[in-house]
Structure formats: C-alpha cells, structure tokens
Amino acid sequence: MSHAYDALEADRTGLGLRADCGACFGLCCVALPFTASADFAMDKEAGRPCPNLSADFRCGIHADLRQRGFSGCTVFDCFGAGQKVSQVTFHGRDWRREPESAGPMFAAFGVMRQLHEILWYLTEALALPAARPIHGDLRRRRDEIERLTESDAAAVAAADVAALRQEVGGLLQRASALARAGLRGRDRRGADLMGARLRGANLRGADLRGSYLIAADLRGADLRSADLLGADLRNADLRGADLTGCLFLTQAQVNAARGDAATVLPPGLTRPAHW
C-alpha cells in the first residue's frame, strides 16, 4: 500500500467513516424502509424493526442474507453514521431503553448517513495530488460538515443536504477534472447505459458519475481513473475489468456489481464474497 493510501485511510478512520456495526443500535435495520423486491424479501416500513434484528442489535441472519433474499442489506453502507448517531449524537442511549428517542434518532440517522457520505468523497478528493489547487476549498467544506455532524440531533436532522450536495458536487467535479486531466476520457455523466455492451471498452478517465450501468457488460473493460461517483453498478458485470485508480468508487457500489478474481479493484475496496 502507498503512503498516500495509508494517509487516506487514516483520515477516514479519524473521521469515523468506516461502519462499526458493533457500536450501532441497528439503525439501518429500523430507521429505513424495505420494499419487497429482488433486494428485499419483504416490505418493512420506516421506524419498524426488521424481524431479523436481534436483542443485541445484530442481524440474526447476517451470514445468510443473500440466500434469504436480503441482498440489499449486503450492499448498504452507512459510512459510519450508525455509530456516530448511536454513540455521539445520543451518547449511547438506545431507542429500546428510551423509546422517546426513537423518532429523533431515526431522523438524525437518515441525514447523518448522507453527511458522512459527503465527508467520504471530500476526504478522497483531498488525497488526490492533482487536486492540490483546490485543497483549501475542499478542506474548508469538510471541516464545516464535520462540525455539523457533531451537532445535536435537531441540528443534524434540519441540515439542507440537497444544498450541501450541490455545493460539494461542484468541488468534487473540479477535483475529478484535475485528476483526469490529459486522459481525454469520455463524458458519460448521467448516461443511460443499462444493459450496455461495453465488453473490453476503453473507458479510461471517463466521467461516468451518476450514470446508469445496471446489468451493463463491462467484462475486461479499462476503467482506470474513471469517475464513478454515484454510478449505479447493480448487477454490472465487472469480471476481468480494471478499476485501478477509479475516483469516488465505494464498497457499496462494488458489492452491488458482479466480478471475479481477475477484477482489479482500487486499494481499500475488498472483493465481495459473492464474486
């Protein structure tokens, strides 16, 4: 692993952006709704505990989620928001012992998850040497949002996430352009590429942010240094694809796709067990 990657992981750890389910009160299993589909085996309304949630706030079928029809749970990532709300915002008071805290806690979690995701991307952008001209702006925005995540539940729940995403999105786009400069990658932002035949395609340095790559055939594709922020990779075939240096690719996106032992992933992302 490179020094730059080690520094990035240290920053993510310092900001608490890696999920620690053992320090969370099962918030994703309660606060969020499920809709019966290929991803979830049943309907569940927001605020109602999943029947698979154990008394110790752990998933009772964690080892068999995919086999039991809950593949959607295996691709979810709260970016550390669960333990932040559980241990910092609510100081270790859980919604079972204090039912009156449930509503505010669940509302804060929904927003905190989005704030932590934004912090994840800003931290990655700050690790890009080519984005040095805007590191000051990136760091200021990250510090502001980090302070917001340390606020009380009401302040967190009231955050204007849409406005923050728009402001930060512009900075991330500038960072991406600086990092991909000279690669002449294709601009496919927001493109509908569902089921597209892109086997062996040269997508090096491409801007694929927000694109729909659901079930796309990307076997053996060159995705080095491509910007995949927010790209929908559900069931995308990444067998043999090279994702070295991809920008803003998350573990949740990787988990939602299909790959194999020949798929090259960036440092910090792990090969899913179902590949």
Q: Specify the pLDDT at position 197.
A: 98
Q: Specify the pLDDT at position 31.
A: 97
Q: Specify the pLDDT at position 268.
A: 87
Q: Specify the pLDDT at position 2.
A: 65
Rounded distance, CA 74 to CA 256, Å? 8
* For residues 204-223, average pLDDT: 98
User: With bands split at pLDDT 50, 70 and 90, how would you rate the model's confidence at 6?
Assistant: confident
Q: Specify the pLDDT at position 162.
A: 96
Prediction pTM value? 0.94
Architecture of the domain defined by 185-275:
3 Solenoid (2.160)
Which amino acid would we find at residue 253? Q
Q: What is the pLDDT of residues 100-144, one digit of tens each?
A: 999 999 999 999 999 999 999 999 999 999 999 999 999 999 999
Helix (H, G, I), strand (E, B) or coil at 275: coil
Note every long-range contact of 143-149, with CB atoms under 8 Å and residues 24 or more positions apart, other chains counting: 145/115, 145/118, 145/119, 146/15, 146/119, 148/115, 149/84, 149/112, 149/115, 149/116, 149/119
Q: Which residues contact 113 (CB under 8 A, 6 or more apart)?
A: 78, 79, 81, 82
Rounded distance, CA 100 to CA 90, Å? 12
Q: Flag whether pLDDT at 224 surpasses 70.
A: yes
